[in-house]
Structure 1
Amino acid sequence: MDLQRTLAAMAVELDGLRAFDETAEAVSRYARTLLDADDAGVLLVESRRELTTQCGTSPVVHQAHQLQVDFDEGPCLDAIKGRATYVTDDTAHDLRWPSWGPAAAEIGIRSAVGVRLATGAQGFGSLNVYANRPSAFTAEHVHLAELLAAHITVALAVAKREEGLTTALETRSVIGQAQGIVMQTFGVDADTAFDFLKRISQHENVRINALAEAITVQRNTNARPEKS
């Protein structure tokens, strides 16, 4: 897979999409492709006690999310509550989720990545990627998931703008941090990284500061726990 071409294709497809559900669905599809996964989807916090699956690439995503709600445990819930990214290489034997893990394995999920969707200190949900084989996701895959999650976060910020959602940390240093993350992840130079940020900012009609904040939150808010 040509990463640069896939990212370019994603940018073209997302151009013009304004509805959050359409953006979340498209990014979930690209997450599945870019991470060589079997499924992906978005879990949103509607209220303190209500979680909903915004989209999923197959019914398995809805099952996996519902099992986490039923057992009140799992990487997606921990990503929301723990302000971090959670990875499991083998759901069947991950002691962090003794109920959800074996249940997930029974429906075919063996690896998972849960990435928190957040702007500043406020969390909205998680982007979740699943594979039917153990040890499916590398560190590079996880970094890609975090960048895609940042894109969903920006789209959500746009959708919630009329409800009073605001973004923070509008500083040049945040843009520089996000630029560095893009450079490191995709192996591009500073100009290319900034052009990428600017293009996504224009596509989503949000300030580049807000986009930069979303990216840095995914990587820098908290250290990611070690994999099982």
Structure 2
Amino acid sequence: MVASSSPEAQQMDEAQAGFDEGPCLQAQRSNTIIRVFDVRQEKRWPQYMDEVRSHGLRSALAVPLTVNATATAAMNFYTHEAAAFTEEDVEAAKEYAELASTVVAIALHIAAHAENAEDRRIAMESRTTIDLAAGIIMGQNRCSQDDAVRILKDASNLRNIKLRVLAEQVIASVGHGPTSTNFES
């Protein structure tokens, strides 16, 4: 994920990602703060530094974010002045990084819960369709629920179609429209 405070910063971040080299990626990979005092003198990341120089930027600061055990990120700061980042600036950037780390971790946590909730909703809707189809088979064959589900599964395997799709076909075959669940949104 790339987020930027200006179009120029976004261009620099996209270039860095395209070259797969630069201070932000180094900070992210090494979990260390990377300072570039003067891009005109910087020898690391040659392709990326050429791009930075062409935009008139002269110094950069990259600060790693601590998101979680599996996600890493970093923040980039750029200026048009050489050696512009003081120790106070680095400390302020570290504070921003701590806040950003917390926000990103919370956002990832919320996104994971939303995804899980959506997966559960889809599973419950599929379960409703399968249960209705099993009920139809039970009525038609005068069999138990377990036998009806087994019939559905066997037919699904034989026809090589998903169980939910077969269940929808069974329901449609008795003249009913698509199934719906009664879950509140």
TM-score of the pair, normalised by structure 2: 0.56
TM-superposed CA distance for 1:119, in Å, is 3.4
CA distance in 2, matches of 1:57, 1:153: 17
Equivalent residue for 1:144? Answer: 92
Aligned residue type for 2:29 = K
1:80 and 1:117 in contact (8 A); partners too: yes
Structure 1 residue aligned with 2:18: 70
1:96 corresponds to which residue? 44
SS of structure 2 residue aligned to 1:99: helix
**Aligned residues: percent identity?**
30
Higher relative contact order (CA 8 A, sep 6+): 1
| Aligned match of 1:133 | 81
Structure-1 residue corresponding to 2:101: 153
Name the aligned partner's letter for residue 73 of structure 1: E
5+ long unaligned stretches in structure 2: 114-185
Say what the alpha-carbon RMSD is for the aligned residues: 1.6
Contact map agreement 2:67 2:73 (CA 8 A) in 1: no
Residues 104-123 of structure 1: pairs in structure 2 closer than 5 A = 104-119=52-67, 121-123=69-71
Paired positions, count = 112
Specify the structure having the higher radius of gyration (Cα).
2
Q: Residue in 2 aligned with 1:26?
A: none
Structure 1 unaligned spans of 5+: 1-43, 45-52, 165-228
The structure where strand makes up a greater share of residues is 1
Contact 1:117-1:126 within 8 A present in 2 as well:
yes
